[in-house]
Chain A
Amino acid sequence: MPQYVVRRLLLLVPVLLGVSVIVFLVLHLSPGDPAEIMLGSQATQEDLTRLRADLGLTQPLYVQYARWMSHVARGDLGRSLWTKRPVLREVLERFKATLVLTATALVISTVGGIALGIVSATRRNSLIDRLSAVASLFGASMPVFWLGIVLMVVFSLWLGWLPASGMFAPYGGGDARDLVTHLVLPAVTLAAASVTIVARLTRSTMLEVLGQDYIRTARAKGLVERRVVVRHALKNALIPIVTVVGIQAGYLLGGAVLTETVFAWPGVGTLMVQGILARDFPLVQGCVLVVAVTFVAINLAVDLLYVWLDPRIRYE
């Protein structure tokens, strides 16, 4: 186990380096000139030349990358061209909101998906099983931003049950209850497609496990069906489910950008879109880097969780 962990951690080095190169290149090869954006259209040619030299934009690309990386390694992601505040602080502030949204959606999709999957597997071809099959097809075909708008129209505008946007009420509010009511619609929207994916996978894995001999033995020795399903079947079906939940975590983190935009949720997604529209490249770079590093960390956690769940798995 320790050997596996070390090898898995070593593997992170090339991936993280690659991620940093891509984040750097994507925004540095773009046609916009940061000096022009910072100084505005009134700037003289001399000012622009001086600022370009100050920013190191006249140096070769690999020198610029090395300089940028040395700053990033020290936690300095530069300053936003737009708010002039340090990017890292700005991104981390917003990242909390994204994590709250993504984590809630992940809990909904995992708990809901596994429960639905177990019911579908134990009552094969029942109404619930059929509905869950239809829902999974719909989930894979429905634009998440459209679902968000439809839910918002129905539950906020027509029925008036839940707030339409933001994270807290503009006046009063600010407590946990306020947060939860604001969280329901975006979290359900974000989780909708994932629930169906987790449910279908849980169903097929459970069906496979329920056909095994040891399940028949468990039943034969007179265990209650519930105990057979939860203790004997589900536990062994968990490994592929953990994989898919891990993949879903990353998917939700990326999908949050669209959901946040629909519900004006003050997370990294909305910050990034605002940054793009304002051509604030350091800010966009910071957002992408922080989310990508989190994604890499989630994948690592999932891999380590496998080994814990199934000691037979070893990295080759």
Chain B
Amino acid sequence: MSDSLRARGARTIGRNLLAAVGSIVLLATVAAALSAPWLPLADPDAVDTPNRLRAPLTSGHALGTDEFGRDLLSRLVWGARTSLVAGVGAAGLAMVVGVTLGVVGGYYSGWPEVTVMRLTDILMAFPYVLLAIAIVAGLGPGLRNAMLAIAIVGFPFYTRLVRGVVLTVREREFVEAARALGSPDRLILARHVVPHLVSPVVVAFSLDVGAKILATAGLSFLGLGTQPPTADWGSMLATGRQFVVLRPHVVLLPGLAIFMIVLALNLVGDALRDVLDPRTSST
């Protein structure tokens, strides 16, 4: 990263208080999720029926308890691990597959290009959520399958993005020069093409993690993602729904947790875009 880029980045983040708040929320959540086993928290799966559906701020349970008397604070912190892993995992898998296909489809014209583009056309002919649900229906419910399904429906987005960049880069003089000097494709791609992809892909990924957290939470909400008793924000919301009249907090808290982390990711993603890709920054 050049000095001017770094200076611009520092200015943007300094100006952008929201991005700073987003980063703090994000870092705090990641830190809490990582250190969950060492934090003085109750066992997230320990059932305590006499103490079910306790309101927040009752003794021993800062955020109250759920329908089985399990400590909500502890389940939220442990749930953060599941939700973050799901979001980063699904977005990461979609990115790796999407970028690889985008590079192949953009650099090699002919059948690789046609195959890649038709595949993305077909996958994009489905409403996003619907296809993910159908894939999980086929693979069977569970967090791993939910992540896989969301990655499958998500990769065409990266493929399109990357192919667009590769198409313009491959016509540039430095690529032609490298080809004239006899560099093999592998070297041209690694040295001259891939470096141009870093900024747009990093920006897209940072905004995508939040979308993937929302999507996996949606599948968990439908009973197709994380299976009980594992704590996950989406499934906490789904089971808490029946008790919402009696104790709204069992639904409000996991929903707020999803909202906060996705909001934080979007704020950080927007700031990253302003730094790395000023042309597309929001006005």
B121, A18: Cβ atoms closer than 8 Å: yes
Stretch in A73-81, A139-147, A209-217 touching the partner:
A139-147
Bitwise, B236-252 to A at CB < 8 A (1) or not (0) is 01000100110010011
CA A38 to CA B179, docked complex, whole Å: 61
Interface assignment of A251: CB less than 8 Å from any CB of chain B: yes
A146, B251: Cβ atoms closer than 8 Å: yes
CA A31 to CA B145, docked complex, whole Å: 13
Interface assignment of A86: CB less than 8 Å from any CB of chain B: no
A153 in complex: contacting residue of B133, B140, B244, CB < 8 Å: B244
Bitwise, A284-316 to B at CB < 8 A (1) or not (0) is 100010011001100100000000000000000
Interface assignment of B174: CB less than 8 Å from any CB of chain A: no
Interface assignment of B92: CB less than 8 Å from any CB of chain A: no
A284, B125: Cβ atoms closer than 8 Å: no
Determine the chain B residues whose CB is within 8 A of the CB of A140 once the complex forms. 210, 262, 266
Task: For residue A252, give the distance in angstroms from its CB to the closest CB of chain B.
Answer: 8
Task: For residue A254, give the distance in angstroms from its CB to the closest CB of chain B.
Answer: 3
Bitwise, A113-156 to B at CB < 8 A (1) or not (0) is 00000000000000000000000011011111110011001000
- A257, A276, A281 interface centre (most CB from chain B within 10 Å): A276
CA A207 to CA B282, docked complex, whole Å: 13
Task: For residue B255, give the distance in angstroms from its CB to the closest CB of chain A.
Answer: 3
B137, A27: Cβ atoms closer than 8 Å: yes
A142, B221: Cβ atoms closer than 8 Å: no
Evaluate whether A138 and B263 lie within 8 angstroms (CB atoms) in the complex, with A26-B135, A257-B222, A284-B134 already known: yes
A18, B118: Cβ atoms closer than 8 Å: yes
Closest to A258 in B: B218
Interface assignment of A250: CB less than 8 Å from any CB of chain B: yes
Determine the chain A residues whose CB is within 8 A of the CB of B125 once the complex forms. 15-16, 18-19, 292, 295-296, 299
CA A193 to CA B219, docked complex, whole Å: 18
In chain A, positions 35-57 with a C-beta closer than 8 Å to chain B are none
B222, A261: Cβ atoms closer than 8 Å: yes
CA A270 to CA B154, docked complex, whole Å: 23
Determine the chain B residues whose CB is within 8 A of the CB of A291 once the complex forms. 127, 130
- A15, A141, A275, A291 interface centre (most CB from chain B within 10 Å): A141
Identify whether the interface residues of A are mostly helix, strand, loop, or mixed. helix
CA A224 to CA B221, docked complex, whole Å: 51
Interface assignment of B190: CB less than 8 Å from any CB of chain A: no
A292, B138: Cβ atoms closer than 8 Å: no
A149 in complex: contacting residue of B127, B140, B214, B241, CB < 8 Å: B241
Task: For residue A231, give the distance in angstroms from its CB to the closest CB of chain B.
Answer: 25
Task: For residue B116, give the distance in angstroms from its CB to the closest CB of chain A.
Answer: 13
CA A19 to CA B130, docked complex, whole Å: 12
Interface assignment of B203: CB less than 8 Å from any CB of chain A: no
Determine the chain A residues whose CB is within 8 A of the CB of B126 once the complex forms. 19, 22, 254, 288, 292, 295
Interface assignment of B258: CB less than 8 Å from any CB of chain A: yes
Interface assignment of B283: CB less than 8 Å from any CB of chain A: yes
Bitwise, A235-277 to B at CB < 8 A (1) or not (0) is 0000000000000001101110110011000000000110111
CA A293 to CA B266, docked complex, whole Å: 32
B245, A23: Cβ atoms closer than 8 Å: no
A253, B127: Cβ atoms closer than 8 Å: yes
CA A29 to CA B135, docked complex, whole Å: 10
Closest to B224 in A: A276
Interface assignment of A173: CB less than 8 Å from any CB of chain B: no
Determine the chain A residues whose CB is within 8 A of the CB of B266 once the complex forms. 137, 140-141
A258, B245: Cβ atoms closer than 8 Å: no
Evaluate whether A251 and B127 lie within 8 angstroms (CB atoms) in the complex, with A141-B210, A149-B241 already known: yes
Determine the chain A residues whose CB is within 8 A of the CB of B251 once the complex forms. 146, 149-150, 153
A15, B263: Cβ atoms closer than 8 Å: no
- B129, B237, B252, B266 interface centre (most CB from chain A within 10 Å): B129
The interface of chain B, by Cβ under 8 A from chain A, is 118-119, 121-123, 125-131, 133-140, 210, 214, 217-218, 221-224, 234, 237, 241, 244-245, 248, 251-252, 255, 258-259, 262-263, 265-267, 283
The interface of chain A, by Cβ under 8 A from chain B, is 14-16, 18-19, 22-23, 26-27, 29-32, 137-138, 140-146, 149-150, 153, 157, 204, 207, 250-251, 253-255, 257-258, 261-262, 272-273, 275-277, 281, 284, 288, 291-292, 295-296, 299
Identify 4 new A-B residue pairs, CB closer than 8 A, beyond the known A27-B134, A296-B125. A18-B121, A22-B126, A157-B245, A255-B129
Sorted nearest first, the 8 A-B pairs with minimum C-beta distance are A254-B127, A18-B122, A146-B255, A254-B129, A30-B138, A141-B263, A141-B262, A26-B138
- In the complex, 5 of the A-B residue pairs with CB atoms within 8 angstroms, ordered by the A residue number, are A16-B125, A22-B123, A153-B245, A251-B127, A254-B128
